[in-house]
Structure formats: C-alpha cells, structure tokens
Structure 1
C-alpha cells in the first residue's frame, strides 16, 4: 500500500472511533455556510428577476420627468403609445370618517403601465378607472388604515372621487414606499379642477413612452440628452432602471453576505477551539505513532485529512440548509423588493459556499493541528503538552497571515473595493482581538488574584475557567460577537427613534402647514389661533434654480478639471429659500456675517449652510446667479451658517436678506404645536376641509411611520443576526459536549472525595453562569463601543445608553448558557461514580 493510501486508511480508522466528536467540530460552520449560500442564492435569483422584469419595474420604455410641463417632443411621433401623469403631494380627505391624510396624488392619462399592470382589488377596478369619470384607486394600506371600502368617497382638493378599488401593486412600488408615500390615482383630466395645481405645489410631470420592439431606446435618445439636461428634464430607460435597481440590491446582498460571513467566522473559532481539545486528547496516540517510526508530517496529514473531510461534509450540509432557507427570504425581504423573486438552486452559490466552508474550516483548524508536528516520541513516557507551545513557530504566524489574507480577499469580492474590504477586515480583527483580550485578561486575573476566602463552590467554578480544556476564550469570542451584533441593533434603533420622536418633546413643534398661498396666510393664521394653538413660525418660501457660479454654467462646469469643478448637484437641484435678517434657534453663524439689503445699489449677500458648502465646493465670496421664476438674480456668498437639520424648524440651505424676494412668487409655511394626537387629527381635518390646497405634516404620524419602517428594517437585520446567535449557541453546545468528559472526570473526583451532588451541581451551575455572564457582558461592552462610535461619527446625535435592553440580553444569554450546561452535565450527577468510570474506561 502506498503512503497516501495508508494515510487515508488511518484517517478513516480513527474517524470511526471519533466520528461523533469530529461531527461536532464541523457542525459549528453549518449555520454560517447556510446563511452564506442562502444570501448568495437569493442575490443570484434577484439579479435574474430584476433583469427579466426590468420593463415591469419602469412600466415603459422611456420616462421623461420635469417639474413643469414637458411639452411636445420629437419622440412623440416615433412612439407607438404614450401616457402622461402629473403627481404631487397633497392632503386627501375621507368624508365617511371625516379624517385626512397626506398622500402622493398621481393624476394619470393613458394606458400606463405598458408593461405589467396596476394590480387592484377587485381586478375590475383598473378597467373601471381607465373608463374615466370621477373615480380613484387608493393604496390598499391607506384603505385599511382608514377603514375605506370600495364605493366610499375620497376628496382630493375641491373634487370628490368614488373609490373603485384598492391599489395593491404598481411599477416600482414596494411595501416601504407605500408606507412612506401612499398613492391615490385619479384621472388626469380632473387634475386642474382639484385646485391643487398652483404655485407652491411640488409638481412632477411625467411622460411615458412605448416604442416598437426593434427600437434601441438608448441609441434613440442619445441626441436629445444634452437638450434635456439644459431644460432639467430627467430621462429614465429600462436599462438605467435595471442597473440602478441591480446596484441597490447588490449592495444589500453584499452587506447581508458580510453578516453571514461573520457568522461563519464565529463557527470557525468554534472549530479551532474544538480541534484544540481534540488534538490534546490525541497527543498520546500521536506519540505512539512517532515511536513506531511514522514521521511528524504523516501523522499531521492523517488528522488534516479528517478535518478536510469533515469540512467538506459540514459545508455540504450548510449548502443544503442554505438552499432551503432561501425559500424563506422573499417573505423576509418582501417589503423592500420591487420585483417578485423566484427561488431555485443556484449552483454557483452552492459551489461558492462549499469552497468557502472548506477553506475557512481548514485554515482555522490548522492552528491547533500544528501541535501534532511537534509531538516527540518521548511523550509516551512523559505525557505533557507544556512544551508544544506554538508561540515561536513560524508556521503558526504563516497560518494567521493566510487567515487574514483570506478574510481580506473575501471581503473585497463582496464589497468590490480594497478600502472597504480593509475596513471590514479591520473591524472583524478588532472585534475578535478585543474579545480575545477580554477572555485572556479574565483568565489571567482569576488565576492571579482568585481569593482563597471565597466559598469553595465559587472558587472551584471560577478556577474551571482557566483549567485545561476550558472553552472560555472561544465562547467569549463567538457568543460575545453574536451578542454584540444584536445589542448594537437594539441600541442604534432606540437612538434613531429617540431622535425622531419630536411630538413627545417640549418646545418642539409637531405640526406644519405648507403650500399656503399669500392670499390665504391671514385666514390660516386666524384659523390656527382659533384652535387655541400658538404660531411658532410663519415663513415665506421662494423656489429658484442656480444658473451660474462665478460665471460658470452647468455645461462649462462639466468641462473643468476635478480640482476646480463644482458639484453637479448645485445645478441640478431646485432651491427653496426664505429671507430674514436674523438667525433662528437651529442656526449659528460660523463665518462672515449676515448683511441687510437696503437699496437697489447694494450687493445681495446670501448665507449658505456650512455643511452643504463643504460638500459642493461653495466658497466665501462666490458669485451665484439664481433663476427666480424666470428672472435672473445675482448674489454673493456673504456668510456660512451651521444648521441643525435634526431640529424641527424651517431650516434652509440658502438664506436671503430681507427686501429682495418679497415680490417674488412664493408660498408660506406655518408651524405650530398640539398637545395630543387627537387634537392634531382634529385640527388637521378642519384646516384641510376649509383650505383643500394646504398640506399638513403631522409629525406624530411621521414618527409612527418611521417606527414602522425601522421595525421592518430591524426585523431583517435581526433575521440575519439570528444566524450569528445560532452559531454562537451551536458552538456553545459543541464546546460543552466536547469538554463533557473532562468535566465528568473532575465531577467524579469530587464525588469520590465526598462532595455531594448538590455541591457538584452548584459548581457546574456557577461555572456556566460565569461563562455566560462573561460572554454576554463582553458582547454588550463591544456593542456599547460600536453604538458610541456610530452616534458620534455617523449619526451625530447625543449618546443614550439602552441599559434596559442590555439587561434583557444579558439575562437571556446567561440563562441559556446555564440551561445548556445543566442539561449537558445532569447525567453525571444522577449516577454513582463507579458506574460512570466503567462506562468511560
């Protein structure tokens, strides 16, 4: 028999004796591989579905969009079908209940969508809507919220429409968009009669085109792009929508894959820990083989062969489980998906998962396996592993380097950039390093400073944390990182919700009335005051566009070098500005000073938000030419303000001085505060009834909507974090089972020396209590650090500790550890010592 055959035979023979333990070694990676394969399969299927349903996403071959009527186009004669739409945010009222709601009104004319359809309940509602008349389709979510039935009425502006059906699906519509901006469709022929199309309304005009199948839309529109850009007309084609949607969900898939990869890395830490225990138990057998003349290389290959085989089996099991899990993911992510996702086996994802699983399990197993190379024949006489330290072994550092390189390359494959990959890898290394430091520091502290005055059960339980075959570091690393992920989610979610709960804060307004025409200001102010509400702010708003900056228009700016080119966003956006000669509570002056415009000969000095200036390249003294409803207006940057946009107020990027824009077309905003949600609803309904063109933002409702959205997002993240938690639990179970025999011998020794079952049980319970506490507290500590960094560097809001959630997580993780430890050791306590000794001999 050749040497390779003999190695496989020895590996198989040893496997039959230790198959239970070896299966436990690789069981830790099953969950991580399952998550990786599930997400990869889901991502592959999503990309295919976006590609196949791209036309249904857009609903047309070409969409043109502008904030004013688009007018006739050369393409009109080429298209085989056209449709048009004007949409705007407005209040609608439901006469049946007397309630009102801010919605997105879409006034539609034509057969849009040309691909796909408006899914309604009943199905005939779409056909009834197309026939014309004062009929409406209302978002199903909205109908459920206000108990609206088919046949009821909805008031849009000055007109009342009959609700002929509930809108369930529309091109590009998702559950999240329905929550944020519910839609009401009405026929475009009645749009003007509603009285809502007037100055101050944020209008979007849409033209939808369908071309013959043989027409290449991208080639067709190329000659018109420059003209459309000049006229601020945005175009959207099937290819652009497909690419944009694909990129968005590819980013989501990559993020979720990274979360799954973290779960896999946790499992690999469990593999390394389990293999370490396995190697310690095999050292005598390895020493015997060395005495028989087997080289250290061959003995190493025997056990490496076992690990490779088990890694393959574990990866295959994870791939099968992940393929099954992907059938659940469309339901988990359904609120966020614009297409209907099909499920099926993605062989590329399966192969990717299996290859990844084998590589990482072998890489992490190599660290403890290398001890086998150092076993001398003399260990048969002196069975001690103290001399097998790998601290000075260069191969150990080579393996650690390979692990780091693998994590970096894997991250790069998912993220597509070395900078992002390095950041993620540094995070993983930092998290593991911090948890390893905590575990090592605790073990060292207990060994060095354990008081002899403690009661014996407590002292014994603490000592078990650093005795041979302990799993302290691996469990703190795995369970701690899983706990950190779920804890950080809860903490950040609470921080975000706390920032948006404006309605619960004193001195913070919670109701905004906007789209108020100048002729209505006095009446609306009086109506609000008659309700007993304060007028906290009344602000005029003027709409304008930026034409030139320092004499450079949009096309000239595009030709400049990167060093001097301004942001394209300056020319593309529509500015809404106000005018006053003083700052408000949400502003502070950081550079320059506010100027008062006194006569026609003065220069007009405007104030710009510092953050916006930094992002776009605006500098002090820049000459800016604005287009104010067709009239050019030259201004200069005279100051920078720091604006707190998180505070509920009329905050603006650009602030004009008084005596400049008073005669310009404008609308007004009035801000007030109600005491209760019911008062807010009553005031809103009465104002909308008397002034149908006015829109109302009820911040209490906004908070409810944000809570709903954050709840959906957190559910998705919790679902993914569950893989990490399950991996940590599986590692915990495996570690407890692996160390069972070591603990069994210690318990037998204690029982033989006269310790009662109660004492032994108390020692085991305390040991697992300390272990669970250390793991959960380490994870919570890491999550506190992550939350603090996110609060300061990302979200820029005051830090608030969620000690209540932290306590719940601590109790849950610690309780689970104690329960599993008790279940693992109960057989030892209920049997006589001699019986157990005979069964393990």
Structure 2
C-alpha cells in the first residue's frame, strides 16, 4: 500500500478541483441524514429524560367524566405518593362580560406537582392559587386584558388572578388543548360548579414511586386490577405518546427524504468521480506506461476518493450534529420540548455508514473502468465504449447495495414502509436507466432534420460518448424528488383552504346540560335570529373489547387502530348523522327498541377486522356496554360538524349522565354578542370559535410544512450538485464537439442553441415523468404517512417543475460556456 498511498498524496498536492463535487454531494446528503436523526433523537431523548415531569408522576391513571372510587383511590395510594388533577374546558370572562375566551380549567390538589416545578412569573401575588384564586396563562391574560389582582369569572365563581403561569411541568404530557390554562385548587374548582354529572372532564391520578420500583410493572398491575373500569394507563417511559408518534412519523419521513437526497447526491458522486478520472487520463496513461499495475492505479485513486469523501462525510456529521442547536435557537418555541445540546452517536454513525456505502456504490464502477482500460486506449479521443464491469465489481456493487437496503429497512421505525420506499427508489432508478436507453435509441432512429441545429441536438443525444443516460438518471431523480416534495408541501399548506367547507359553523358549543337544552336553543334564537343550530348528545368512553378480544390483553394495537387509544366520543341517534354514508348493513328504524346496536366508522372497522354482526364493547363511566354492529359508515370528517366513530341506537346510552354538543352557523357580525350572552347565561357551556380551531391546526401543519421545506432545500442543493456533476462528466466530450463545430464554421450561438435544444428536450420528458411519479409518491406520503386529506395545488407543482426544467436548461448552458471558450489548437493538443 505504500506506493498507492504515495501516489495518491502527491496527486492531491496538485489540487483536487475535480473531487470537490464529491465532497459537496456527500456533505449535503450526510448532513441531512445526521441532522434529521440528531433532532429526532434529541427530542425523544428529552421526552424520556423529562418523562416524570412531563407525565407528572411515575405512573398516571386517567379517566373521563368521573373520579376514582374508594377502592381505586386506595389502590393508587398504596402504590406511592398520590396527586389528583381535574381538567376541563371552560369559558373565562371579565365580570362584566366584555371579554370572554375559552380556557382549559385545571384543578390541582395540594401536593401537585409530584415532579418538576410549578412557577409563576415575577409580580405574582402568591406562589400558587388557594380558594378563589386563579393562575392563568399569559395568552389568557392577553385575551381577557387582565393582570394580577383583577377578577375573572369562570362558571359560577368570581376568581382573583394571582399571577401568570411561567412553568407548568406537565403541560406537554396533557396534549392538545383548545385554549390557554387557568389553574385553581380543588376548592376553586368546586366553586365554579362546572363538575357535574354528564359534564366532560378528565381526571388524572399521578403516582410517585419509591426509588428502584419498576414503573411499567406498577402500571400493568393497576391496569390488570381494574380491567373494565375504563382507565387509560401510562408510565414515565412513555410520557407523551402522541408527541412521540408525531415526532417519530415526521422523523421517519424526513429521514427517508434525507436518504433520497443522499441517493441523488450519490449520482453526483459517480458523475464527479467519472469527470475527475476523465481528467486524469494522461496521468493514468503515463503511470501505466511506466509500469504501474492496474491494482496500483485502482488503489491510488481509491485512496484519493476515500480521503476527500471522508472529509465531506466528517463535515456533514459536524453540520448535522449542530442541527438541534440551530432549530432550538430559531424555532425553539414550536418544539414540544427544548432539547439540550448533545452529540448523539447513533444517528451520526448511521449517517456516516450511509455516506461510506453510497460512496462505494457509485465509485466502484468508474474506478473499475479506469483500472481496466489499457494505456493505449487512454490516449485516444474518448469516444470508445466503456468497458463492461467485471464479475467481481458487479458482486461488490451488489453487496454494497444489499448492505444499504438492509440498513434502511433494519433501522426504520416502520420496516415495511422503508422496504416499500427502497423498492420504489430502485424501481425509479431502473425506470430512468431504461428511459435513458430509450431516448438514445429513439434519437438514433429519428429521420435527420433539415434544420442543422435540431439535427445537431438530436445527434448529441445518441452520439458515441453521449452522457444522455447519466443525465436522464441524475435529472430524473432530482426532478422527481422536487415534484414529490412540492406535492407534500402544497397539501400541508392547502389543507385548511380545501377542507373547510364554504359554510362552516361559527361556533362549537360543548357541555350543554341536558336539562338546559331548550333554554339554550331559545337564547340562540333570540340573540341570533336565523342561526342554524345542530345539536347532538355526547358521551365518552374507551373501547374495551372488540370481536371477542380484550383490548387490555393485546400486546400491541393493530395497525391504524387509533380508535383503541384513549376515550372515544359516543352518541345515539334515530337517524343517520349528517356527513355519513352507509356502505354496509342498514340503519335501525326511527322507533327501534330492540337489543343495543351500533354504527361504526368504516376505516375503524377495517383496522379492527370487524364486520356486520360483530360485537364491540365500550366502557361508559365504568359500566361496560356491549352492542352488535348494525352498519358501517363512510364519514366525511371535513364537514366541520360533529361526526362520531360510534353511533348507538336509541335506548342504550340515554340513561347515562351526559350532555349535548351543538354547532351554530350564523353571520360573523353577531358572533361577539352571542358569545357574551351564552357565557353569561350558561357558565358551564364552552364556546369554541371555528377560526381558533383552524388557527391551531394551521399552526401544526405550518410546522410540518416548514420541515418539508427544509428537506426540500437540501434536496434542491443535492439536485443542483448532481446536475453540475453530470455536466462536468461530459465536459471533455463537449469541448471536443465545440472545437470541431467551430472549425467547421459554426458560431458560438449556434453551438449553444443546439445544446439548449438538447437540454430542453430532456427537461420536458423528465418533467412529465416526474409529475406522474411525484404525484403518486406524494399521495402516499400525505394520505398514508401523515394521514391527511388529499389537497394538492397543481399550479405550485407545475411551477416547481417548470423552475426545475428551466434550472436544468440554465445550468446546462452555463456548464457549456467553458467548452465554447476552448481554443481549438490547445484543445486538439490536449485531446
């Protein structure tokens, strides 16, 4: 190895301009992978590290619409220190009703919090609420225009604001909320009068265990002790499951985008290495003439490429490791937790391994071709066909590709999805390779045009030494990735525009007492004549059994069975709800009085493997309610109305304490007046403005969109690098063509026009292909990975592809300028 190493180091002293593209491509791809992996790991690690504070304890028992009975409370207390919190929606207002806003009312006991610190901002009148005191989130203070010392009304109680909440340790663990927090103690919660039979509230019991006690074992023991009571159990190792699922799903998508960017960059690596070795033809020929063996040359250039690739990979790892720090600095408030800076070896090692394997995959063939060519052929004009890869080279490439596939599938959170992605990427590469061959064959078979520029452009596509196949693969991958990301991004940004109906309701009204139903309707009719009100009964309860299977006994939930996570909304109706379509079975008669029946959402039924006649059991306030499935419904969730996965026949749920929900559609001009009137007349009713819901959903989709844009920027940079590499790889042939054409009398403008036609034809063909494949890939990501509705803005996708096509043309022509400037005498001597 001494001689190859010496030759490699001496060659690099003269500069490595030809290998800069190799370093840039690897830097972009590895940085993308390392950055996504580091950020995802940093957030999930912080969630695990703060698991106790986020959850509020080592074990949490959660239930809806009731508190624990004596036996349950005694069992919880026997496990460790116990804390109780009750959370519900409530309207908060100034005493005169001039300002009102929806809030999340949270009642806590005297030992809250078991972990972490509850802290108020400077200027607070007391460290925590007591009696008729309340601590509120800054956002609520801003909406009500109040400050510490001012009174506000929640329910039946007038409370004194003692301060603004600066730190609520279990905020992330409690998930999505419709409004800012108002925190009181249990006496203050009782004073509001909002906790009544049928009202919707969530009770959580947090348990602090002794050191060394297994939280998972305690959680399982408590769940097994009360299997039918409807408790949702968590422990500190999974403090925020919804956040983890979101981060994991987004991280998986971005990781695959990064892997795609690295694959695209790999094409650039191959092009860069090919261009570099083309420029070293004279040096290789000289070394072979002096007696250097093919092995020496192979190892020498492998060492050079390895050194430059290593530098690019290391630089990418450094940049990727700094991504969490940069994201926290730029958008830390948007993250569920702010991870502390740390180097995460796992994602960095994975990114580095990908970089090494991608480098080997794309440099083995160019190195083998340089190794196999004789000294005499290296001195020729470069129009001879390249030598076919030998068996050992093909085996090495196959082994490397197998390692990449195994790594992608083996390290993915969803191996099946990763395998499908790898298969799709391989299929795309084969398709583009076949397309490149087809373009050359079709161009060769076309009749010769009478227009010289068109004839020259067509000849450029199939002449000996043409880079058509390489350009098609490089540009096709880049444009397809751009199209896919454009489809995903426009879906995220277009969700609200396309899914909100033209006549969306103005308010959602929740927790309307059964006995106040008629009075509520009368008030709305008086305050907003002509308003359209739709009211449905509302209960909540978890699914505890389906098709004879107990949910508590399942080792893992079926794929897509979100219906089994936590409580579900329940209702009863004599007629099918609006926004639903019966697709199997039939609805019960309006006067039905037989055994309990239920209508189930079609997607939920497919996930659970249920059909007509199967049994499903829910727990309502600790009482199990079995029912036979009478029909399956296809639900339109984008109607902005109330849609329930489970709708029961009359006579099943009416006896359980419950409340009503309503949608109110009215002119915007009367919304403030109606809001004030309902808040004053019905303190227990929560009014949610549809605009606020849309704003919160838009915020989440905006974060997703920003992440996709960031991934797109990396992919764009990688695609540009690939195009530059493809153009560089054909530089020698371009110079040769340009010199001969100019010697025959062609002007620079004519040569440039012929090349413009060539690139325009390729860009048009590949843009059409990329549009189709990008649409299919984007549809899968949007509907299956993110589970969103399909709402693509095709104009944006078209503009993206047009920009990509024109960018291809512009970069191709810019890359041709050095060939046009080449002097014939010097170029011919060099050739």
TM-score, scaled relative to structure 2: 0.85
Instruction: Measure, in 1, the Cα distance between the counterparts of 2:500 and 2:556.
Output: 45
Partner SS state of residue 61, structure 2: strand
Partner SS state of residue 107, structure 1: strand
Change (3 A) 1:220 1:345: closer
Say which of 366, 369, 391 aligns to 2:367.
369
Offset of 1:580 from its aligned partner?
0.3
Q: Which residue of 1 aligns with 2:254?
A: 256
1:624-670 alpha-carbon deviations (Å, 9 max, x no partner): 67776688877544444443344344433343444665565442233
Q: Which residue of 2 aligns with 1:643?
A: 635
Q: Which residue of 1 aligns with 2:101?
A: 101
Say which of 587, 591, 610 aligns to 2:585.
591
Q: Which residue of 1 aligns with 2:488?
A: 489
1:461-484 alpha-carbon deviations (Å, 9 max, x no partner): 565455536352243144224413
Q: Which residue of 1 aligns with 2:514?
A: 518
Q: Which residue of 1 aligns with 2:524?
A: 528
Partner SS state of residue 130, structure 2: coil
Q: Which residue of 1 aligns with 2:693?
A: 702
Say which of 403, 419, 422 aligns to 2:419.
422
Instruction: Measure, in 2, the Cα distance between the counterparts of 1:561 and 1:52.
Output: 24
Q: Which residue of 2 aligns with 1:360?
A: 358
Change (3 A) 1:631 1:42: closer
Change (3 A) 1:604 1:257: closer
Q: Which runs of 5+ in 1 are unaligned?
A: none
Partner SS state of residue 519, structure 2: helix
Say which of 16, 30, 34 aligns to 2:31.
34
Q: Tell me, yes or no, if the aligned pair for 2:175 and 2:240 is still in contact at 8 Å.
A: no
Offset of 1:29 from its aligned partner?
1.0
Q: Which residue of 1 aligns with 2:605?
A: 613
Offset of 1:405 from its aligned partner?
0.8
Instruction: Measure, in 2, the Cα distance between the counterparts of 1:687 and 1:350.
Output: 56
Q: Which residue of 2 aligns with 1:388?
A: 386
1:143-185 alpha-carbon deviations (Å, 9 max, x no partner): 4566655555543223333444443442343599577553222
Change (3 A) 1:390 1:688: farther
Change (3 A) 1:229 1:34: same
| Residue correspondence of structure 1 range 499-514 to structure 2 within 5 A | 499-502=498-501, 505-506=502-503, 509-514=505-510
Q: Which residue of 1 aligns with 2:574?
A: 580
Partner SS state of residue 327, structure 1: helix
Instruction: Measure, in 2, the Cα distance between the counterparts of 1:451 and 1:138.
Output: 79
Q: Tell me, yes or no, if the aligned pair for 1:540 and 1:666 is still in contact at 8 Å.
A: yes
Partner SS state of residue 254, structure 2: helix
Instruction: Measure, in 2, the Cα distance between the counterparts of 1:327 and 1:685.
Output: 45
Partner SS state of residue 117, structure 2: coil
Instruction: Measure, in 1, the Cα distance between the counterparts of 2:174 and 2:737.
Output: 57
Q: Which residue of 2 aligns with 1:85?
A: 85
Q: Tell me, yes or no, if the aligned pair for 2:500 and 2:638 is still in contact at 8 Å.
A: no
Partner SS state of residue 532, structure 2: coil
Q: Which residue of 2 aligns with 1:10?
A: 7
Instruction: Measure, in 1, the Cα distance between the counterparts of 2:651 and 2:316.
Output: 70
| Residue correspondence of structure 1 range 109-508 to structure 2 within 5 A | 109-120=109-120, 122-123=121-122, 125=124, 128=126, 130-144=128-142, 149-174=147-172, 181-211=179-209, 213=211, 217=215, 224-241=222-239, 249=247, 252-283=250-281, 286=284, 289-290=287-288, 293-331=291-329, 334-335=332-333, 337-347=335-345, 349-379=347-377, 386-390=384-388, 393-395=390-392, 397-415=394-412, 418-449=415-446, 452-454=449-451, 456-457=452-453, 460=456, 464=460, 468=465, 470=467, 472-494=471-493, 496-502=495-501, 505-506=502-503
Partner SS state of residue 666, structure 2: coil
Q: Which residue of 1 aligns with 2:721?
A: 730
Offset of 1:269 from its aligned partner?
0.8
How many residues in Structure 1 have an aligned counterpart in Structure 2? 822
Q: Tell me, yes or no, if the aligned pair for 1:436 and 1:476 is still in contact at 8 Å.
A: no
Q: Which residue of 2 aligns with 1:539?
A: 536
Offset of 1:707 from its aligned partner?
1.5
Instruction: Measure, in 1, the Cα distance between the counterparts of 2:324 and 2:739.
Output: 47
Offset of 1:231 from its aligned partner?
3.0
Offset of 1:355 from its aligned partner?
3.8
Q: Tell me, yes or no, if the aligned pair for 2:18 and 2:275 is still in contact at 8 Å.
A: no
Partner SS state of residue 227, structure 2: helix
Change (3 A) 1:132 1:662: closer
Partner SS state of residue 337, structure 2: coil
Instruction: Measure, in 2, the Cα distance between the counterparts of 1:299 and 1:48.
Output: 47
Instruction: Measure, in 1, the Cα distance between the counterparts of 2:622 and 2:320.
Output: 59
Q: Tell me, yes or no, if the aligned pair for 1:546 and 1:625 is still in contact at 8 Å.
A: yes
Offset of 1:87 from its aligned partner?
0.5
Say which of 751, 765, 776 aligns to 1:785.
776
1:655-691 alpha-carbon deviations (Å, 9 max, x no partner): 3444665565442233332344x54454334323322
Offset of 1:32 from its aligned partner?
0.9
Report the more deviating stretch, 485-494 or 723-732: 485-494
Report the more deviating stretch, 35-44 or 721-730: 35-44
| Residue correspondence of structure 1 range 663-742 to structure 2 within 5 A | 665-676=657-668, 678-737=669-728, 739-740=730-731, 742=733
1:448-497 alpha-carbon deviations (Å, 9 max, x no partner): 4386255x556655654555363522431442244134212223225533
1:347-384 alpha-carbon deviations (Å, 9 max, x no partner): 55544443432232122111222223432455267655
Q: Which runs of 5+ in 2 are unaligned?
A: none
Report the more deviating stretch, 486-495 or 372-381: 372-381
Instruction: Measure, in 2, the Cα distance between the counterparts of 1:663 and 1:75.
Output: 29
Change (3 A) 1:714 1:633: closer
Change (3 A) 1:418 1:42: closer
Offset of 1:756 from its aligned partner?
4.5
Q: Tell me, yes or no, if the aligned pair for 2:108 and 2:184 is still in contact at 8 Å.
A: yes
Offset of 1:328 from its aligned partner?
1.0
Offset of 1:416 from its aligned partner?
5.1
Change (3 A) 1:447 1:355: same
Report the more deviating stretch, 245-254 or 661-670: 245-254
Say which of 801, 806, 813 aligns to 2:804.
813
Offset of 1:824 from its aligned partner?
4.9
Q: Which residue of 2 aligns with 1:653?
A: 645
Instruction: Measure, in 1, the Cα distance between the counterparts of 2:718 and 2:623.
Output: 65
Change (3 A) 1:711 1:251: closer
Q: Tell me, yes or no, if the aligned pair for 2:18 and 2:273 is still in contact at 8 Å.
A: no
Offset of 1:44 from its aligned partner?
4.8
Offset of 1:5 from its aligned partner?
2.2
Partner SS state of residue 419, structure 1: helix
Report the more deviating stretch, 786-795 or 342-351: 786-795
Offset of 1:262 from its aligned partner?
1.8
Offset of 1:512 from its aligned partner?
2.9
Offset of 1:105 from its aligned partner?
1.5
Change (3 A) 1:165 1:464: farther
Instruction: Measure, in 2, the Cα distance between the counterparts of 1:553 and 1:794.
Output: 27
Change (3 A) 1:225 1:291: same
Partner SS state of residue 529, structure 1: helix
Instruction: Measure, in 1, the Cα distance between the counterparts of 2:242 and 2:644.
Output: 29
Partner SS state of residue 512, structure 1: strand
